[in-house]
Structure 1
């Protein structure tokens, strides 16, 4: 009999995997990349060895629990690109993404991390393309200020999502304030040059923790 590439998991192993994934979604949503596999094991009610048998690294677990979530964000972005109003499409996506990041710290960290496109190359490329098109389309429509660039989008996401723990109402207040500041207006002050891609990467690296802390090879 030819050897198969992989065997189906036993029922108990499959149940453990599902418990681990469900627990990881909850732990990462609250703690983001600061969460450890020990945290996940404790929340799932299993030994950490069980977690490591299913997911040998935290990177593997991150990829397993966020692939579908990121694909969902990309799908919404593509829907927004089809909006008749370019301004409505851009701002709808920005509001959706900011709220999603605020509700799930792990999703926020993975989407704004340096490894986003390495872990999810197809979704990352599609999202970058759609955001660029959303910005260009709104500029062509004349509703978006001309000095705003697609590279400004992840910086805004980072800034606003950090307000998720602020007093009630503050989050939406400042998100709307930022969006209103993007409107094209004859009295718009000059923003100066936009950050380069490398500069944006540098800023995000200081705001989003790495999946694996440099001090711990185990996580």
Structure 2
């Protein structure tokens, strides 16, 4: 005999609030420490138990994947919006640090060609398509060198994402300045 399940009980308000705090804390911790983030870090930031973090994300890997999708989606939207800017170059320079470097440092392996197709890879591809469209716009308007490709930006972002560790604000600012120097080399 199978046991009949009744209608699901609505989630308690405190459980919903805890989940929101955990998601917000995960984003804060990921920006602060990158891929070295632990579930304990997120629990401490959110002010909840480690079990609450696991009930929200299931695993550290799931947490990292959800954050990667979040950052890729935000970056995609910003780069699509930047396509409307009068100058692709100015838009690229303005968007350079936020959230592109965070995307890369949080999910630098998300676009690994050996990784099976999944939501992270799809979100990453959408982001890079929007970035590529902005680069192509810059080439057409003459503000970005004709020999620059999306691969140049990928290497720059991945390298800076690795170099951003330990993610201190002073170090991040220094890397941003260094990255802009490299980015200026791509200017027509």
Unaligned 5+ segments in structure 1 are 185-219
Q: Report what 1:73 is aligned to.
A: 75
> What is the DSSP-based 3-state SS (H/G/I as helix, E as strand, rest coil) of the residue aligned with 2:118?
helix
- Could you tell me how far 1:7 is from its partner in structure 2? 5.2
CA distance 1:137–1:147, change in 2 (3 Å): same
- Any conservation in 2 of the 1:135–1:150 contact (CA below 8 Å)? yes
Question: Does the 8 A contact of 1:98 with 1:160 survive in 2?
Answer: no
> Which of 173, 177, 180 does residue 177 from structure 2 map onto?
173
TM superposition shift of 1:57: 1.1
Structure 1 distance, partners of 2:85, 2:185, is 21
Q: What is the CA RMSD across the aligned residues, in angstroms? A: 3.2
Check if 1:98 corresponds to 2:122: no
Alpha-carbon separation, structure 1, partners of 2:157 and 2:90: 12
Under a length normalisation based on structure 1, what TM-score does the superposition of the two structures give?
A: 0.64
Are 2:88 and 2:137, in contact at CA under 8 Å, matched by a contact in 1? Answer: no
What SS class does the counterpart of residue 158 from structure 1 fall into? helix
When the two structures are aligned, how many residues end up with a matched partner? Answer: 177
**In the aligned structure 2, how far is the partner of 1:76 from the partner of 1:144?**
19
Does structure 1 conserve the Cα–Cα contact (< 8 Å) formed by 2:82 and 2:88? yes
CA distance in 2, matches of 1:73, 1:51: 25
Q: C-alpha separation between the residues in 1 aligned to 2:93 and 2:61?
A: 27
1:37 paired to 2:44: no
Q: How does 1:1-219 map to 2 (within 5 A)?
A: 8-65=10-67, 67-84=69-86, 88-101=87-100, 104=102, 107-114=103-110, 118-161=118-161, 162=163, 165=168, 170-184=174-188
Give the CA deviation at 1:32.
1.0
Q: Map Cα deviations across residues 163-196 of structure 1 (whole Å, 9 max, x no partner).
A: 5645696344323322221123xxxxxxxxxxxx
